[in-house]
Structure 1
Amino acid sequence: MLNSLLKKYSFKFFVKVEQFSIQHDHIHLLIRGGKRSNLQSFFKVLAGQFVQRLTDTFDKRHEGQKIWKYRPFTRVIKGYRPYLTVRNYIQLNECEMLGRPYSKTRLRGLSKEQLRELWE
Protein backbone atom coordinates (compact mmCIF):
# COMPACT_ATOMS: atom_id res chain seq x y z
CA MET A 1 0.00 0.00 0.00
CA LEU A 2 2.75 2.44 0.95
CA ASN A 3 4.65 1.69 -2.27
CA SER A 4 1.68 2.70 -4.41
CA LEU A 5 1.17 5.88 -2.36
CA LEU A 6 4.85 6.78 -2.70
CA LYS A 7 4.71 6.31 -6.46
CA LYS A 8 1.47 8.25 -6.89
CA TYR A 9 2.35 11.28 -4.78
CA SER A 10 6.00 11.50 -5.76
CA PHE A 11 4.81 11.93 -9.35
CA LYS A 12 2.16 14.46 -8.34
CA PHE A 13 4.53 16.65 -6.29
CA PHE A 14 7.64 16.26 -8.51
CA VAL A 15 9.61 14.37 -5.87
CA LYS A 16 12.05 11.58 -6.70
CA VAL A 17 12.15 8.78 -4.14
CA GLU A 18 15.70 7.48 -4.32
CA GLN A 19 15.53 5.00 -1.45
CA PHE A 20 13.11 3.92 1.24
CA SER A 21 12.96 1.44 4.07
CA ILE A 22 9.77 0.49 5.89
CA GLN A 23 10.40 -0.53 9.50
CA HIS A 24 8.03 -1.79 12.21
CA ASP A 25 7.42 1.64 13.67
CA HIS A 26 8.92 4.16 11.23
CA ILE A 27 9.83 4.81 7.62
CA HIS A 28 13.09 6.07 6.11
CA LEU A 29 12.95 8.03 2.86
CA LEU A 30 15.76 9.47 0.77
CA ILE A 31 14.14 11.88 -1.65
CA ARG A 32 15.06 14.66 -4.05
CA GLY A 33 12.78 17.54 -4.74
CA GLY A 34 12.72 20.99 -6.20
CA LYS A 35 10.51 23.46 -4.42
CA ARG A 36 10.22 23.35 -0.66
CA SER A 37 6.45 23.73 -0.86
CA ASN A 38 6.24 20.58 -3.00
CA LEU A 39 8.25 18.62 -0.43
CA GLN A 40 6.05 19.85 2.43
CA SER A 41 2.88 18.98 0.51
CA PHE A 42 4.30 15.56 -0.36
CA PHE A 43 4.91 14.74 3.32
CA LYS A 44 1.50 16.01 4.44
CA VAL A 45 -0.45 14.17 1.77
CA LEU A 46 1.57 10.95 2.07
CA ALA A 47 1.12 10.80 5.86
CA GLY A 48 -2.59 11.66 5.65
CA GLN A 49 -3.38 9.19 2.88
CA PHE A 50 -1.48 6.43 4.62
CA VAL A 51 -3.48 6.92 7.82
CA GLN A 52 -6.78 7.15 5.94
CA ARG A 53 -6.13 3.89 4.13
CA LEU A 54 -4.82 2.17 7.23
CA THR A 55 -7.81 3.14 9.38
CA ASP A 56 -10.41 3.21 6.56
CA THR A 57 -11.55 6.71 7.57
CA PHE A 58 -11.95 8.53 4.27
CA ASP A 59 -15.17 10.36 5.10
CA LYS A 60 -14.99 10.67 8.89
CA ARG A 61 -12.51 11.66 11.58
CA HIS A 62 -10.35 8.92 13.10
CA GLU A 63 -11.33 8.65 16.77
CA GLY A 64 -9.06 5.78 17.85
CA GLN A 65 -5.46 5.61 18.93
CA LYS A 66 -2.98 7.90 17.16
CA ILE A 67 -1.14 6.36 14.24
CA TRP A 68 1.84 8.73 14.19
CA LYS A 69 3.65 9.07 17.49
CA TYR A 70 5.84 11.98 16.34
CA ARG A 71 5.92 14.54 13.55
CA PRO A 72 8.16 13.68 10.58
CA PHE A 73 11.85 14.33 11.07
CA THR A 74 13.45 15.79 7.96
CA ARG A 75 16.96 16.91 7.13
CA VAL A 76 18.42 18.60 4.07
CA ILE A 77 21.57 16.86 2.89
CA LYS A 78 24.27 18.94 1.24
CA GLY A 79 27.32 17.26 -0.22
CA TYR A 80 28.22 13.81 -1.44
CA ARG A 81 29.68 12.37 1.79
CA PRO A 82 26.59 13.13 3.92
CA TYR A 83 24.47 11.72 1.08
CA LEU A 84 26.45 8.45 1.17
CA THR A 85 26.15 8.29 4.96
CA VAL A 86 22.36 8.62 4.82
CA ARG A 87 22.12 6.15 1.95
CA ASN A 88 24.19 3.58 3.86
CA TYR A 89 22.18 4.21 7.04
CA ILE A 90 18.90 3.47 5.26
CA GLN A 91 20.38 0.32 3.72
CA LEU A 92 21.66 -0.80 7.12
CA ASN A 93 18.19 -0.33 8.60
CA GLU A 94 16.72 -2.44 5.80
CA CYS A 95 19.29 -5.20 6.41
CA GLU A 96 18.56 -5.14 10.15
CA MET A 97 14.87 -5.47 9.35
CA LEU A 98 15.70 -8.58 7.32
CA GLY A 99 17.72 -10.19 10.12
CA ARG A 100 21.17 -8.60 10.27
CA PRO A 101 22.26 -8.31 13.93
CA TYR A 102 21.96 -4.84 15.43
CA SER A 103 25.17 -3.11 16.50
CA LYS A 104 25.48 0.03 18.62
CA THR A 105 28.35 1.33 16.52
CA ARG A 106 26.29 0.86 13.34
CA LEU A 107 27.95 2.90 10.59
CA ARG A 108 30.96 4.06 12.60
CA GLY A 109 34.09 2.39 11.42
CA LEU A 110 32.63 0.04 8.80
CA SER A 111 35.32 -1.10 6.42
CA LYS A 112 34.95 -0.95 2.64
CA GLU A 113 34.35 -4.72 2.63
CA GLN A 114 31.56 -4.38 5.20
CA LEU A 115 29.98 -1.58 3.17
CA ARG A 116 30.12 -3.73 0.03
CA GLU A 117 28.55 -6.59 1.99
CA LEU A 118 25.80 -4.23 3.14
CA TRP A 119 24.76 -3.58 -0.47
CA GLU A 120 24.92 -7.19 -1.69
Structure 2
Amino acid sequence: MQRLVEEYEYGKNRFDKAGEALFVARLDERIVGVCGLNLDPYERDPDVGRVRHLFVEQSVRKMGIARALVSEVVREAANHYRVLLLRTRNPEADQLYRSLGFSTATVYHHATHQMRFTR
Protein backbone atom coordinates (compact mmCIF):
# COMPACT_ATOMS: atom_id res chain seq x y z
CA MET A 1 0.00 0.00 0.00
CA GLN A 2 2.87 2.35 0.84
CA ARG A 3 4.30 1.99 -2.67
CA LEU A 4 0.95 2.91 -4.20
CA VAL A 5 0.75 6.07 -2.09
CA GLU A 6 4.36 7.05 -2.82
CA GLU A 7 4.02 6.49 -6.57
CA TYR A 8 0.84 8.57 -6.59
CA GLU A 9 2.34 11.41 -4.53
CA TYR A 10 5.46 11.63 -6.69
CA GLY A 11 3.49 11.44 -9.92
CA LYS A 12 5.00 8.15 -11.04
CA ASN A 13 1.62 6.43 -11.22
CA ARG A 14 -1.64 8.34 -10.88
CA PHE A 15 -3.82 5.95 -12.87
CA ASP A 16 -4.76 8.88 -15.08
CA LYS A 17 -3.76 7.77 -18.57
CA ALA A 18 -6.32 6.53 -21.10
CA GLY A 19 -7.48 3.05 -20.09
CA GLU A 20 -6.24 3.38 -16.51
CA ALA A 21 -8.28 3.44 -13.30
CA LEU A 22 -7.96 3.03 -9.55
CA PHE A 23 -10.75 1.22 -7.73
CA VAL A 24 -11.40 1.71 -4.03
CA ALA A 25 -13.46 -0.45 -1.65
CA ARG A 26 -15.05 1.29 1.33
CA LEU A 27 -16.62 -0.09 4.46
CA ASP A 28 -18.67 2.64 6.04
CA GLU A 29 -16.41 5.66 5.44
CA ARG A 30 -13.14 3.73 5.68
CA ILE A 31 -11.06 2.65 2.67
CA VAL A 32 -10.44 -1.08 3.12
CA GLY A 33 -9.13 -2.05 -0.30
CA VAL A 34 -7.66 -0.80 -3.55
CA CYS A 35 -6.77 -2.21 -6.94
CA GLY A 36 -5.50 -0.44 -10.01
CA LEU A 37 -5.44 -0.85 -13.76
CA ASN A 38 -2.52 0.49 -15.78
CA LEU A 39 -1.15 0.30 -19.25
CA ASP A 40 1.49 -2.38 -18.71
CA PRO A 41 4.78 -0.55 -18.04
CA TYR A 42 6.93 -3.51 -19.09
CA GLU A 43 5.37 -4.43 -22.43
CA ARG A 44 5.03 -0.96 -23.94
CA ASP A 45 2.12 -2.19 -26.01
CA PRO A 46 -1.10 -0.12 -25.95
CA ASP A 47 -3.14 -3.35 -26.06
CA VAL A 48 -1.68 -4.74 -22.83
CA GLY A 49 -2.94 -3.71 -19.40
CA ARG A 50 -1.78 -4.68 -15.93
CA VAL A 51 -3.48 -5.27 -12.58
CA ARG A 52 -1.59 -3.16 -10.05
CA HIS A 53 -1.45 -2.83 -6.27
CA LEU A 54 -4.26 -5.09 -5.09
CA PHE A 55 -4.51 -4.54 -1.36
CA VAL A 56 -7.24 -5.45 1.12
CA GLU A 57 -6.96 -4.56 4.79
CA GLN A 58 -6.30 -7.70 6.82
CA SER A 59 -9.29 -7.20 9.13
CA VAL A 60 -11.74 -7.49 6.21
CA ARG A 61 -10.12 -10.23 4.16
CA LYS A 62 -12.22 -13.24 3.17
CA MET A 63 -15.26 -11.00 2.62
CA GLY A 64 -15.07 -10.94 -1.20
CA ILE A 65 -13.51 -7.49 -1.43
CA ALA A 66 -10.48 -8.59 -3.45
CA ARG A 67 -12.75 -10.52 -5.82
CA ALA A 68 -14.99 -7.48 -6.29
CA LEU A 69 -12.05 -5.14 -6.90
CA VAL A 70 -10.35 -7.42 -9.44
CA SER A 71 -13.69 -8.05 -11.16
CA GLU A 72 -14.08 -4.29 -11.66
CA VAL A 73 -10.53 -4.07 -13.02
CA VAL A 74 -11.25 -6.91 -15.46
CA ARG A 75 -14.52 -5.29 -16.57
CA GLU A 76 -12.77 -1.98 -17.24
CA ALA A 77 -9.74 -3.61 -18.88
CA ALA A 78 -11.96 -5.41 -21.39
CA ASN A 79 -12.96 -1.98 -22.74
CA HIS A 80 -9.36 -0.93 -23.42
CA TYR A 81 -6.97 -3.88 -23.80
CA ARG A 82 -6.54 -7.21 -25.59
CA VAL A 83 -4.52 -8.71 -22.72
CA LEU A 84 -4.46 -8.11 -18.97
CA LEU A 85 -1.36 -9.16 -17.04
CA LEU A 86 -0.24 -9.38 -13.43
CA ARG A 87 2.53 -10.78 -11.31
CA THR A 88 2.12 -12.49 -7.95
CA ARG A 89 4.03 -14.96 -5.84
CA ASN A 90 1.22 -15.30 -3.28
CA PRO A 91 -0.55 -18.71 -3.47
CA GLU A 92 -3.87 -17.26 -2.22
CA ALA A 93 -3.74 -14.49 -4.83
CA ASP A 94 -2.92 -17.11 -7.49
CA GLN A 95 -6.10 -19.00 -6.54
CA LEU A 96 -8.16 -15.81 -6.65
CA TYR A 97 -6.88 -14.78 -10.07
CA ARG A 98 -7.35 -18.25 -11.54
CA SER A 99 -10.90 -18.42 -10.16
CA LEU A 100 -11.62 -15.16 -12.02
CA GLY A 101 -10.43 -16.59 -15.35
CA PHE A 102 -6.74 -15.70 -15.45
CA SER A 103 -4.37 -18.24 -16.92
CA THR A 104 -0.88 -18.98 -15.65
CA ALA A 105 0.28 -19.91 -19.15
CA THR A 106 1.88 -16.68 -20.26
CA VAL A 107 4.62 -15.74 -22.70
CA TYR A 108 5.12 -12.38 -21.02
CA HIS A 109 8.41 -12.17 -19.13
CA HIS A 110 7.17 -9.84 -16.34
CA ALA A 111 3.90 -11.65 -15.65
CA THR A 112 2.72 -14.77 -13.90
CA HIS A 113 -0.93 -14.53 -15.03
CA GLN A 114 -2.80 -13.29 -18.08
CA MET A 115 -6.32 -12.84 -19.35
CA ARG A 116 -7.12 -12.33 -23.02
CA PHE A 117 -10.09 -10.35 -24.31
CA THR A 118 -11.73 -10.46 -27.71
CA ARG A 119 -12.72 -7.07 -29.09
The alignment's TM-score, normalised by the length of structure 2, stands at: 0.31
- Larger Cα-atom Rg: 1
Greater helix share, structure number: 1
Q: Which has the higher contact order (CA 8 A, sep 6+)?
A: 1
